[in-house]
Structure 1
């Protein structure tokens, strides 16, 4: 039975070959046309995708924190983060216009990935707006997690601005310029989620030495 099946397949192949030869390759040309038509949409989609990532992006220099910084253009956004072209080193990403914290670089390369800070967990500094005690602002350490602030000592009553911890890289810099991520009042964190900007600046990571 198996021999008969193989013989039948062989005869069919011979028939196809001879038919193609005597019809001036009409059969092979027809198959080529069909495969070309079916593959064209995939090829066009591939080329368009390559053109998107090979596009030349404008480099914009802006003045931020009294220094000139080079910006990078955002490629796309998903629920957890954003994709940016040509990220060389890890660090934090800030808005190129107003300096607001955007996120943390999690992947470097030709197309890097930056996680949105509000989807992360990290220590924070809560600085009280009350200056009645010796004319000085009071600050305590907290922890940001899932849109909430956890304070180690629940007996401490404090209300004020919430900043990325000043003991993290660039934390003190952002705090000194008043770039907060929200406000803490009566045990409730009022988060300030920034809009995803068109351009960002990467502040490259370094080893903090007692804060920036």
Structure 2
């Protein structure tokens, strides 16, 4: 007796989905417009932002990292990430390395990595709040090539977006 077409299609689909892993990207804030906060002024190391009431990280309107919340309140303060110190993740085609950003330079403590030959995109560390999310969306801080960090400083207009801190940290970074 021949199998019915529906049964054959069912068997085909079950076999197909068992062999092929399907990955779906889910947007977190799909229907919500994030709260935009007004930038009041800027100094050499950061920005003064109105109604910055919670700790976290701050992005510009394009989703690029601007900095870390240092002070909260009716007028809060955001330190520019390029004036801060924090761990980073360097992603090359064949290797992922953890390093540390400080003073426009990146230090890589792993002696097995040849720094002169490394060419990689630099992201905020995956182990910091929102680090993995920013990396997955391609929001890199710059490029590391031939021992030199080529920094990508974001433009900040009138408004910024706060991603509230989660976890045990108090100031948006560890």
Same fold (TM over 0.5): yes
Asked if the contact 1:64–1:99 (Cα under 8 Å) also holds between the matched residues in 2, the reply is: no
Shift of 1:138: 2.2
SS in 1 for 2:154: coil
Structure with higher RCO (Cα < 8 A, 6+ apart): 2
Structure 2 distance, partners of 1:173, 1:192, is 18
Asked if 1:189 corresponds to 2:154, the answer is no
Q: For residue 76 of structure 2, what is the aligned residue in structure 1?
A: 112
Structure 1 residue 111, shift from structure 2 partner: 0.4
5+ residue gaps, structure 1, are 1-62, 131-136
2:171 corresponds to: none
- TM-score, scaled to structure 1: 0.62
Runs of 4+ in 1 over 3 A off after TM superposition: 63-67
Report whether the alignment pairs 1:78 with 2:43: yes
Deviations, residues 124-159 of structure 1 (Å, cap 9, x unaligned): 00000x2xxxxxx52110000000000002440321
**Alignment correspondent of 1:101:** 65
Contact kept? 1:143, 1:149, Cα under 8 Å: yes
* 1:67 to 1:100, Cα distance in 2 relative to 1, 3 A: farther
Please identify the structure whose Cα radius of gyration is greater.
1
C-alpha distance in structure 2 between counterparts of 1:201 and 1:191, whole Å: 21
- Whether the 8 Å contact between 2:60 and 2:155 is mirrored in structure 1 is no
- Trace 1:1-212 onto structure 2 (pairs within 5 A): 66=30, 68=32, 69-96=34-61, 98-128=62-92, 130=93, 137-157=94-114, 158-207=118-167
* Counterpart contact for 1:159–1:186, Cα < 8 Å: yes
Between Structure 1 and Structure 2, the one with more helix by share is 1
- Please report the TM-score for the alignment, with normalisation by the length of structure 2: 0.75
Aligned residues, how many?
Answer: 138
In 2 relative to 1, CA 160–113 (structure 1 residues): closer, same or farther, beyond 3 Å? same
